[in-house]
Structure 1
């Protein structure tokens, strides 16, 4: 799980808040969050929102699979 936090996933986890934030906070520096969106988000793999003035805002986001990995979710068949 710690290796996940060294990627864009760590920044997105801190932005997510809640239990996801709590699991990530000891592994991700605040400077990573303040640095702005990662290259991953800027390539169209993050969340996109309208800024209300005809432009768009982009930021890192977590997929369901990434949330599951952070929380230690696994399926048993």
Structure 2
């Protein structure tokens, strides 16, 4: 019975991790990574926000399946 419970919870943990998403943002460096590199790696942003100083804020969202939203300032 103990093995059955252990197997059940192990399978539950494994299946719970299958739905997780990740954009792959490792390797970006503030001040060095260009907008072209961001777009090449992450694709088109979901939204682009204009900043008062002329820069842009790029929104890369993992929602609704994920629980994160990356806001990356460029310019």
Under a length normalisation based on structure 2, what TM-score does the superposition of the two structures give? 0.31
Higher helix proportion: 1
Structure ranking higher on relative contact order (CA contacts 8 Å, 6+ apart) = 1
Q: TM-score, length-normalised on structure 1? A: 0.30
